[in-house]
Chain A
């Protein structure tokens, strides 16, 4: 292969949280091809349509290649000196007039661990506020919360290798063949070879066709299903008594609570048949080794974090944690959802989720950075937008996140951005969010930077630059450390590797991590000082006081939104294979040719009742807003529900989503929105391609 290419760099994929290791091949001074690394621990010589092919976006002509500053209603190109001077002047003025807590920052779950750590240090040390958050707030913060409550640590308990080692697996609220394609392929292959798969989802996902059993449940009823499964496990004597007795606390309260969750009652709530619920419980509990995998279909709900605790209950009842083939595997949305939160880009915690309210921890960072910090947490993302609207938040530094496209209640977000005195955005493209910026700093794509990502297995893997940022664009590491220096706080790092050395020094559970040790195989935290990592957590004790895991007796409660006469259908949103989140990257590649526009999935019975034909344009209304898109009639969705993705700005799905959010973590309830659907215009035979933004060809 090598003759064709000038150079090949091994790096880690910047799309989803699977963490595929990739070989980026260069010719003519640019990346011409990407292939999977044969020794990638998560991908084992495989990758998907995004990781392998969707890299043209990095060479797109509309990349930001120079700093932009707002002037007379528009933007003009500025020098780095001028742009950074504007940022420092604004922050210094606002800090002097309103205090440091009038400023907030967002790190990015697409950026490296080092970038996220530097960003939180910038906010905490250079500006002096804990107002720092990242986009995992809107996806897996409930997972993090619940795993810490139940087991002690915020991460998958095992690795993807446990899928192949398992006898059975329960997939709930996750569609891996679309959202996490390489793990989806691994699950499918395992199922073909005999893994007993149970799927539970409002949509009949592709993997349901390879499983033993599919439970089509109503959106927002996961808690009832999980308590129903626990009921059957206890009723039918499938509890691992020894494990429960020796390693857990709180069993009795759960047993008492779930007594009422008979399969018949749960059928009433979820719509899944009682016999299916019983069979699912037996398939999971009777397996020698069983895994549970979940995604945003569990977390993005009013009680999302509680549902993850109920998932933990099920694993604890059956002793399916801390052994090979018995893992709890949350499939993380973006490449570095795990790492951005691990590394302190949260308003309440430093690295390894150690709280800012812990005086010893905060003191250690104060000493290391030579600053003083508060002992109270800062604002979460939704609180930042509320504070901007009410005028107490004056400025934001948004790094690698398009909140105006991806956050819920879009109208409120835009009102917040418009209310700010000063907004600086650091991104690779102009986005819906940068429209409201005062300064836009041109940053780097994952192919252009160095550092580490942490995948959904808690595995830190190296990211190595295989291209240079275009024009005057710079790496995020360089931008953030320069801004910090300009604000009077010189972080003193020369390379991202120095940042990781500081993280290791300041964080006992990451003590043995260094770029050199990560090497090609990666390291799964915790990492001991001698470099020993931890593929499987909790083999003999849980990381809670006394070493025992905690059951949580949590009842089912209805979701925040309900169908009614005016809005009779429930909208679920999610991802499609060809595209990725706001589509900023994938819509600038040939993937747009593979999927050029979005559609609304409607069950045939609903379509008939509404008078909607396959391919016909429909108006979807919620209590918050309205969007238009073509309908696709399919039996893959349960009756009474509709589905679409959020990849296309011309659809703006998030206009429909209200402010309802997880009770513990403020993660938005993207998965349950009552809507009405009405046909508009004449029937068409197929969804028409909508291309509001022309695709810009590479190079």
Chain B
């Protein structure tokens, strides 16, 4: 079917999402909870776009295309929602996201500087018991990607979302760390994490050799 994204017409297969159409049309839509290897989740509300005929912006990753649909990726309300959401996420973190992370790129794209809200921030809490995988709980934004990667790509079912609100995060096994869970150390969680909440320990050491010791510690 044919849809129009930012004034450009593209052909998409039935079942394609607005995000697929935008990608095909060459329009970048920021995302945080999306990973093409997994089913769309629709949780982060960062991929909001304007859709002709809709009362409010819609999430591009979970909205299916319809014939002759017209989409504006930089529609003002949609972008305001996305930016406010990301700004709220950043306001909880103890430090700005590392430049290589997806979160940093999305924040750059939406031109978010220092968050306006200066409330409580998460405290560093690290788990380095696994030889390769490092957990930095304070960087978790509860996008659910690691949990879904563990379930949908690997099938180890080792990770779980826990806690509520400000205290939400993820845990390996029964909070027993990766090595004492059903984890098979495939690394899919670290690969998909948009913030380095789960990353390779050796890369943290590499980074700290070049920058000042980041706030926090074990």
Contacts and interface: CB of A to CB of B under 8 A. Distances in A.
B187 A52 contact: yes
Given A185-B155, A192-B155, A3 B100 contact: yes
A185 B206 contact: no
Interface stretch (A26-34, A124-132, A142-150): A26-34
A359 to B, nearest CB: 51
A591 B131 CA distance: 8
Interface in B107-164: 131-132, 152-155
Given A47-B186, A185-B153, A590 B191 contact: no
Interface in B167-218: 179, 184-188, 191, 200, 202-203, 206-207
Given A185-B154, A189-B152, A192-B155, A33 B202 contact: yes
Contacts of A45: 36-37, 153, 191
Contact of A4 (B36, B131, B191, B207): B207
B99 interface: yes
B38 to A, nearest CB: 10
A1 interface: yes
A594 B185 contact: yes
B100 A4 contact: yes
Nearest to A27: B206
Contact of A35 (B132, B191, B202): B191
Interface residues of A, number: 32
A211 B131 CA distance: 32
Contacts of B179: 594
Nearest to B205: A32
B100 A1 contact: yes
A32 B187 CA distance: 15
B132 A53 contact: yes
A590 B154 contact: no
Interface residues of B, number: 22
B154 A49 contact: no
A36 interface: yes
Contacts of B100: 1-4
Interface string A565-604: 0000000000001100000000000110110000000000
B155 A32 contact: no
A36 B192 CA distance: 11
Given A33-B200, A36-B191, A185-B154, A3 B186 contact: no
Contacts of B185: 48-49, 53, 578, 594
Interface in A1-59: 1-4, 27-28, 32-33, 35-36, 38, 44-49, 52-53
Contacts of A177: 184
Interface string B74-91: 000000000000000000
Nearest to B201: A590
Nearest to B179: A594
Contact of B206 (A28, A36, A188, A578): A28
Q: Which of A1, A45, A210 has the most chain B CB within a 10 Å cutoff?
A: A45
A254 to B, nearest CB: 37
Contacts of A1: 100
Nearest to B191: A35
A325 interface: no
Contacts of A100: none
B47 to A, nearest CB: 19
B186 A181 contact: yes
A177 B183 CA distance: 12
B131 to A, nearest CB: 3
Interface string B24-38: 000000000000110
Q: Which of A1, A4, A181 has the most chain B CB within a 10 Å cutoff?
A: A4
B186 A185 contact: yes
B131 A47 contact: no
A4 B186 CA distance: 21
B186 A48 contact: yes
Contacts of B154: 46, 185
B187 A49 contact: yes
A63 to B, nearest CB: 19
A51 to B, nearest CB: 9
Nearest to B156: A185
Contacts of B131: 53, 590-591, 593-594
A123 to B, nearest CB: 39
Interface in A172-188: 177, 181, 185, 188
A49 B203 contact: no
Contact of B186 (A32, A46, A593): A46
Given A32-B203, A33-B203, A593-B131, A189 B184 contact: no
Contacts of A189: 152-153, 155
A46 B37 contact: yes
A45 B179 CA distance: 23
A593 B200 CA distance: 15
A47 B200 CA distance: 14
Nearest to A182: B186
Contacts of A181: 184, 186
Given A48-B184, A48-B186, A590-B131, A32 B202 contact: yes
A3 B155 contact: no
Contacts of A53: 131-132, 185, 187, 200
A114 B99 CA distance: 41
B120 to A, nearest CB: 30
Contacts of B37: 38, 44-46
A456 B135 CA distance: 35
A578 B187 CA distance: 13
Given A4-B203, A33-B203, A189-B152, 20 more contacts: A2-B100, A4-B206, A28-B206, A36-B191, A46-B37, A46-B154, A47-B187, A48-B184, A48-B186, A49-B132, A49-B184, A49-B185, A181-B184, A181-B186, A185-B153, A185-B155, A188-B155, A189-B155, A591-B131, A593-B131
19 contacts: A1-B100, A3-B99, A4-B203, A28-B206, A44-B37, A45-B37, A45-B191, A46-B188, A47-B186, A49-B185, A52-B187, A53-B132, A53-B187, A53-B200, A177-B184, A181-B186, A188-B155, A593-B131, A594-B131
Closest A-B pairs by Cβ, 5 of them: A590-B131, A49-B185, A188-B155, A593-B131, A52-B187
